[in-house]
C-alpha cells in the first residue's frame, strides 16, 4: 500500500496511565480519541472523555469502563494489549484482505469493510475533521481544512489495488482534492459527465468514483459507487452525514439520484 499512515494509529510508544512517568500527550490523545469513538456505538458504557492529552481521573475511569466492557482486568492502565483492543476497528478495516474477483469487487468489498468498522471524525481543540480515522485517510493530516472524502476514496482504491499488486498512482496522483482527480479524469478521457451518464447509465460500473460537480471544473465531494439501480447510484463515501453533506463526519452508505444531481464519474477501468 502507498497510504500507510494508519500504521501510526495502531501503536503507543509506552504504557500510559494516570500520572504516568512515560505518558506523552500524543499517546494520551490517541487513547482518549479511541475511547470516545468506542462510546459512539456503546453510548451506555461511559467511555467518552475529553481529548486533551491529560491522563487524569476521568480518563482512568473511562479506561476501566472500556476494560470492563472487553472483560479484561480493570486496571485503568493502557499498555499495548489494551490499546490493541481500542484500535481493533481500524486494524480490521486496513489489515483485512478484501474478497472478490478483480479490482472492482475488491474496491466495493474493501469500502464495505471500512464502513462496517464505523470510521468517524472527532472534534479536537475545536477543530473538526480530526481524529485517528481522518489522519489514516489523510496521511497524518487533520483539522478543519482537511476535508477527507477523497482521502477515503484513494485509501480504498489503494488498498484494493495493492492486493492485486497494482498501484493506484497509475490511475491518479496522490491528492486530497476532488478537483485534481476530476481534472486528471478529463485529461485522460476517463471522466464521464453527468449529462453523458443520464443518456447512457451503462457507462458507469460498480467500483467507479463519483464526483459531485459544482461547476464544470469544480467538484466538491466524492465517493465509491457500489451499485447502480434505475435512476440512482448506491455509494459508500467518507466525510458525509445523513443529509449527504460534503463536510459531514462519517463513512456512510447512501443512495444518490444521478438524474437530479450533477454526478460526474471517474472510471477505474484502466486499472482493472
pTM over 0.75: yes
Closest to 64 (Cα-Cα) out of 51, 78, 80: 78
Q: Residue 245: is its pLDDT beyond 90?
A: yes
Work out the average pLDDT over 117-129: 97
Return the H-helix or E-strand segment holding 209: strand 209-215
Residue 42 has pLDDT above 90, yes or no: yes
Mean per-residue pLDDT over the chain, rounded: 97
Q: Is the pLDDT of residue 164 over 90?
A: yes
Query: At 47, is the pLDDT very low, low, confident or very high (cuts 50, 70, 90)?
Result: very high
Nearest to residue 98, comparing CAs of 205, 1, 204, 169?
1
Mean pLDDT of 219-226: 98
DSSP sequence for 140-174: T--STT---HHHHHHHHHHHHHHHTT--GGGTS-S
Classified as helix, coil or strand, 101 is coil
For 28-52, what is the mean pLDDT?
97
Per-residue pLDDT of 199-209, as tens digits, reads 999 999 999 99
Domains in the chain: ranges and CATH: 10-86 (1.10.101.10), 91-271 (3.90.1720)
Is the pLDDT score of 64 beyond 90?
yes
| Cα(51)–Cα(49) distance, integer angstroms | 6
pLDDT for 98: 87
Angle at 86 between CA 250 and CA 131, to 5 degrees: 40
Kindly state the average pLDDT of the residues 126-130.
Answer: 97
Residue with cell 475511547: 35
Amino acid at each position: 500500500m502507498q497510504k500507510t499512515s494508519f500504521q501510526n494509529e495502531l501503536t503507543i510508544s509506552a504504557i500510559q496511565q494516570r500520572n504516568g512517568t512515560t505518558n506523552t500527550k500524543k499517546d494520551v490523545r490517541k487513547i482518549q480519541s479511541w475511547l470516545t469513538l468506542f462510546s459512539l456505538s456503546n453510548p451506555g458504557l461511559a467511555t467518552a472523555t475529553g481529548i486533551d492529552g491529560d491522563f487524569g481521573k476521568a480518563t482512568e475511569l473511562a479506561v476501566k469502563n472500556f476494560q470492563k466492557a472487553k472483560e479484561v482486568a480493570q486496571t485503568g492502565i493502557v499498555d499495548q494489549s489494551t490499546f490493541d483492543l481500542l484500535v481493533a476497528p481500524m486494524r480490521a478495516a486496513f489489515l483485512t484482505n478484501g474478497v472478490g474477483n478483480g479490482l472492482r469487487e475488491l474496491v466495493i468489498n474493501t469500502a464495505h469493510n471500512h464502513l462496517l468498522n464505523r470510521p468517524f471524525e472527532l472534534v479536537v481543540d475545536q477543530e473538526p475533521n480530526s481524529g485517528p480515522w481522518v489522519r489514516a485517510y489523510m496521511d497524518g493530516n487533520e483539522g478543519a481544512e482537511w476535508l477527507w472524502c477523497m482521502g477515503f476514496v484513494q485509501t480504498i482504491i489503494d488498498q484494493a489495488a495493492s492486493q492485486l499488486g497494482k498501484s493506484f498512482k497509475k490511475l491518479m496522483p496522490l491528492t486530497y482534492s476532488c478537483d485534481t482527480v476530476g481534472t486528471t479524469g478529463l485529461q485522460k478521457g476517463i471522466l464521464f459527465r453527468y449529462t453523458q451518464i443520464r443518456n447512457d447509465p451503462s457507462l458507469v460500473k460498480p467500483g467507479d468514483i463519483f464526483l459531485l460537480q459544482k461547476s464544470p471544473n469544480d467538484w466538491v465531494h466524492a465517493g465509491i459507487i457500489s451499485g447502480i439501480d434505475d435512476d440512482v447510484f448506491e455509494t459508500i463515501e467518507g466525510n458525509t452525514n445523513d443529509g449527504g453533506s460534503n463536510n459531514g463526519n462519517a463513512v456512510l452508505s447512501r443512495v444518490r439520484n444521478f438524474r437530479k444531481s450533477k454526478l460526474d464519474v471517474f472510471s477505474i477501468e484502466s486499472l482493472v
